[in-house]
Amino acid sequence: MSDAPPGRQRPTDVYFFATCVVDQFFPGAGLDAITLLERQGIRVHFPEEQTCCGQPAYTSGFPDEARKVAAHQLTLFPNDWPVVVPSGSCAGMMKHHYPTLFAGDPARLVLAEELSGRIYELTQFLVEVLNFKPQDAGSACTVVLHTSCSARREMGVYLTGRKLLDDLAQVNVAQQDHESECCGFGGTFSVKQPEISGAMVEDKVAALKATGAERVVSADCGCLMNILGHAAWKDRQEGRAIPSLPGEHIATFLLRRTTKESAR
Amino acid sequence: MNAPQTLNFMPSEGFRARSKAVVENPFLRKSFRGAMDFLTAKRAAQFPDVEELESLRTLGERIRQYNLAKLPELLERLEINLTRNGIKVHWAETPDEANAIILGICKAHAAKLMVKGKSMVSEEIELNHAAEAAGIGALESDMGEYIVQLAGEKPSHIIMPAIHKTKEEIARLFAEKVPGVAYTDNVDELIQIGRQVLREKFREADIGLSGVNFAIAETGTLCLVENEGNGRMSTTVPPVHIAVTGIEKIVEKLEHVPPLYSLLTRSATGQNISTYFNMISGPRKPVEKDGPTEVHLVLLDNGRTQAYADDQLRKTLQCIRCGACMNHCPVYARIGGHAYGTTYPGPIGKIVSPHMLGLEATATLPTASSLCGACGEVCPVKIPIPDLLMRLREESFSAPRANPAMRGQGAGYNATISAIWRAWAAVYRSPRLYRLATWLGSRFNGLTPSRQGGWTSVRVPLKPAPKRLRDLVKERQ
Amino acid sequence: MNARDRILAKLRAAAPATAGDQPDVAGWYVTHRSVETGAEKAARFRHFIELAHAEVYAVPRGGWLQKLYEVLSAKAIASLLVAPGTPHGLRAREGLVELGIACPGYDRPVEEWKAELFTDTPAAFTVARAAIAETGTLILWPDADEPRLMSLVPPVHIVLLDAGRIYNTFFEAQQAEGWAEGLPTNALLISGPSKTADIQQTLAYGAHGPKELVVLMIGEE
């Protein structure tokens, strides 16, 4: 077991904020993230009352509705444990936008600012707090990593996912064209501007496939929904039974690679 | 590609159709992508040192915010110092007023031909139309602007106006429209054709019109940034020079200019400096042998005071018009500039146009963003463009209210959509309702509709997992 | 109220109470730009202006006329527009005429000879007031003796620069020379021949101004 970096207390307990997307659409990824944390000797607490960070309403121009939903989340983390979020965009919402959202509500602002200080994106937490260095138990493979725009630009954690993959001895990380470009998800953008969003995800999937990687991994399920949703649609269009671009959350990939008996 | 001939229409209307047309054209897709890759690579090469870039952006932001904070005082000082230097200052609240002032000066000189250096504000006020209607020729002299004018189009990029055209298209255009010119797609030859045509016009012109990059209050100086020399021609050869600019382009001190100028050229085209930096502090003096004998400055509001009145929206006015936001925007790269339907396209266009045209005409534009943040990341003066887009969404979609911060507030209000978001909030703020709704979703996931609006146009339907994470967590306890 | 007063009234009503401290421009330059020796500045100036497609020749202080003649000969230029009211312009005319180069002077208002300037003036010779190493930039302050169109209309512009007049940065130049105290009607920074990339991002020189820019640099070590 590795030590925490100097000056940062290694916590014994964390809260896990799953996000509504993981809860409903990628529960396996959430469970794998929890398992991964527990294997590092961390007690993971899943507040049963959690729902959604409020981001869908916030980015769509409905801050009042976002505030109501966010206000509920503020009550879920009473102990001063870190809050680990398996999504850069939801983490970014809680870390950077909650204080703005509650700027006019002094009592909640205090809570929001306090909470902001202990929000971690999952890969950031694994690398920066736990100093986690995954031991690869799998066979050689090539994957490609998609980092969400929020992780990259809002949370500034685009290096941590990459580092975790680089630590896996048998895993080659391919480099896609226009790596830093958005996949085109953008929440309601994908529904309101389907032509533009569609063009963006089409290009993204093409760039990911062009690397020849056997799968795409990402720390954000919003991007994965979009990327894998388009890749599967294209497979259907072109009559392929086997997915041309499988993908999964980085937690699932890391857990599998570091699990000896089931290193598939 | 058909460009709108006039901006007197609702940019919001038809935005989706226009963007769809470009997205479905593989040739345009490839050419925009190539142009944007070229510009982003050039900018990146100018900023190898991240610390230098970030500290310079911080300084640029500070300079712009400082000068905006003092804007009313600085405008008055600018007016005093320009007047002292012999430059006549005019004020216009609307495009019509600005055009009337400019055409009034033209008429006083019985002008027949106005030659124009690059000016986005003159596009904003649609000066060319107004001049034509008044019987005055208005000729664009920036090569890119000249090309789009010849084609009867509008610029599709604020720095590279003809970025949507290939050299073959330009070759055909010149062969067809310029008398005595045979088809050539050699770029040097094409530029020389433009040079010859326009040199004649510089000599003939009665009026030279330009924009302004920075107006310096303390010295009473107008600064113009360019590479071609047409800006210098327009402001030096004709007997009268009229500059037109937005009221926000002002700095208090000369020393504020070097950092902004450096940020501008490095961010815009990836040049360490432009070929020319032209500082004009007055008309020709009696002893001088060239230069205009009259210099005018038209200061335009056109919605800028509205943006100014709100602490958050004021940041829109920090813009120095480099175009880096559009060069890095994945949406702009897919649809190009014309699809926006506004004078200023791309991310900056989405946040500035609503003040000029009202949200009623532009409500769709702020939704055309995935909020990826690339624009804010490269903005040389750190305009928080994604935050402003979210603000504009709120201004647009909220129910009309008294004393709105913006013209057209509530233009995108839809009672049903608002009710859906209220219902969403009611469910997601309540753990009990959330559990019920998501349980139903997972339990009956077989009933998920196979068509899900825009989502399923290029994606398989979203389907909740049979068990939620909270169920899996419970099961393992 | 007129437009002016309405605009100012709206701005005053909304302006923040305070603008805060002056932006620390000088501080940024101190921490981010080094002060170089004369030789380093000359080398940096040369590097950047050559990248921008200018020709640079080192010339001896007393002997620049010879290089000027060589440049003109190499380019087959038989006529050079000069500023006879300046020492260098007069010197060029005195020296070149006897070598067979015509040296018309810019000695009357442009209106009197616009056609000739635009169609029959292949080159012009001016001095640079100073230069900037950081970006490879010439600083010109045109005046009654050496008017502004000399550096713009003729297809070839030849500039005499004293390497001792090279500043590290634009900021340093304007500070050292006290530009804020007063600027001429027209001050120019020139960083290469005229150019454009407006057709398919392909660089082409000689868009509207000079196609060629030649710098004769005195005192480059």
Give the span between the Cα atoms of B163 and B177, in whole angstroms: 19
Conformational region of residue A199, where left means phi above 0, alpha means psi within -120 to 50, and beta covers everything else = alpha
Residue A262 has pLDDT above 90, yes or no: no
Cβ B263 vs Cβ B57: under 8 Å: yes
List, in sequence order, the alpha helices (H) in B291-357: 304-308, 324-327, 330-335, 346-357
Q: How far is CA B327 from the centre of its chain?
A: 11
Cβ C137 vs Cβ B276: under 8 Å: no
Q: Which residues of B touch A236 (CB under 8 A)?
A: 460
Interface test with chain B among A17, A51, A224, by most B beta carbons within 10 Å: A51
- Mean predicted lDDT score pLDDT of chain B: 95
Residue B9 has pLDDT above 70, yes or no: no
| Residues in chain C with pLDDT values less than 70 | 221
Give per-residue pLDDT as tens, B402-433: 999 999 999 999 999 999 999 999 999 999 99
Interface membership of C148 toward B (CB under 8 Å): yes
For residue A85, which amino acid is it?
V
Residue A7 has pLDDT above 60, yes or no: no
| Residue among A18, A262, A14, A226 nearest A138 (CA) | A262
Give per-residue pLDDT as tens, B346-364: 999 999 999 999 999 999 9
| Residue among B302, B294, B271, B289 nearest B109 (CA) | B294
Q: Which of A64, A181, A232 sits opposite B330 (nearest CB)?
A: A181
pLDDT value of position B5: 37
Residue A4 has pLDDT above 60, yes or no: no
List, in sequence order, the alpha helices (H) in chain A: 20-24, 27-38, 55-60, 63-73, 88-92, 98-101, 106-116, 122-124, 149, 158-166, 189-192, 194-210, 221-237, 250-257
Domain ranges, ordered by start, for chain B = 12-305, 415-476
Cβ B131 vs Cβ B114: under 8 Å: yes
3-class secondary structure for B140-160? ECCHHHHHHHHCCCCCCCCCC
Residues whose CB is less than 8 angstroms from the CB of residue C162 and which lie 6 or more positions away in sequence, other chains included: C217, C218, C219
Give the span between the Cα atoms of C42 and C23, in whole angstroms: 30
User: At C134, phi and psi to the nearest 5?
Assistant: -50, -40
List, in sequence order, the alpha helices (H) in C98-156: 114-119
How far, CA to CA in Å, does C218 sit from each of A13, C74, C149?
A: 72, 20, 24
For residue B390, which amino acid is it?
M
Give per-residue pLDDT as tens, B432-448: 999 999 999 999 999 99
Q: How far is CA A119 from the centre of its chain?
A: 13
Give per-residue pLDDT as tens, B366-390: 999 999 999 999 999 999 999 999 9
Q: Which residues of A touch B393 (CB under 8 A)?
A: 59-61
User: Distance between the two ends of chain A, CA-based, in angstroms?
Assistant: 24
For residue B206, which amino acid is it?
D
E strands in C39-90: 55-59
Q: At what angle do helices A250-257 and A27-38 cross, to 10 degrees?
A: 50
Q: What would you measure as the largest C-alpha separation in chain C, in angstroms?
A: 69
Task: Please indicate whether, in this complex, the C-beta atoms of C207 and B75 are within 8 angstroms of each other.
Answer: no
The lowest-confidence range among A5-9, A57-61, A137-141, B33-37 is A5-9
Answer whether C touches B (≥3 Cβ pairs < 8 Å): yes
Name the 3-class secondary structure at C16.
coil
Q: Which residues of C touch B285 (CB under 8 A)?
A: 144, 185
How far, CA to CA in Å, does C24 sit from each of B60, B71, B164, B297, C30?
A: 10, 19, 40, 29, 10
Whole-structure pTM value: 0.96
pLDDT value of position C220: 86
Smallest Cα distance from C151 to chain B, Å: 10
Give per-residue pLDDT as tens, B202-227: 999 999 999 999 999 999 999 999 99
Task: Please indicate whether, in this complex, the C-beta atoms of B92 and C16 are within 8 angstroms of each other.
Answer: no
| Angle ∠(C124,C101,C88) on CA atoms, nearest 5 | 50
Give the span between the Cα atoms of A2 and C46, in whole angstroms: 54
pLDDT value of position B3: 38
Query: Edge-to-edge strands of the sheet including B294-300?
Result: B87-92, B294-300, B240-246, B207-210, B113-116, B137-140
pLDDT value of position A261: 66
B1 pLDDT tier (thresholds 50, 70, 90): very low
Range B12-305: architecture per CATH:
3-Layer(aba) Sandwich (3.40)
For residue A104, which amino acid is it?
G
Interface membership of A54 toward B (CB under 8 Å): yes
Give the span between the Cα atoms of A1 and A20, in whole angstroms: 31
Give the span between the Cα atoms of A172 and B104, in whole angstroms: 69
Smallest Cα distance from B282 to chain C, Å: 5
Range C35-219: architecture per CATH:
3-Layer(aba) Sandwich (3.40)
Q: Which of B29, B330, B454 sits opposite A191 (nearest CB)?
A: B454
Domain ranges, ordered by start, for chain C = 35-219
pLDDT value of position A8: 61
Closest CA in chain C for residue B101 = C3
| Residue among A154, A151, A141 nearest A219 (CA) | A151
User: Distance between the two ends of chain B, CA-based, in angstroms?
Assistant: 62
Residue B43 has pLDDT above 90, yes or no: yes
Give the span between the Cα atoms of A37 and A129, in whole angstroms: 11
| Residue among B29, B31, B47 nearest B379 (CA) | B47
Q: How far is CA A120 from the centre of its chain?
A: 10
Q: Which residues of B touch C171 (CB under 8 A)?
A: 255, 258-259
Cross-strand partners of C195: C205
Give per-residue pLDDT as tens, B284-316: 999 999 999 999 999 999 999 999 999 999 999
Please say whether the dihedral angle defined by the alpha carbons of residues C57, C63, C64 and C67, taken in this order, is positive or negative: negative
Give per-residue pLDDT as tens, B443-462: 999 999 999 999 999 999 99
- Mean predicted lDDT score pLDDT of chain A: 95
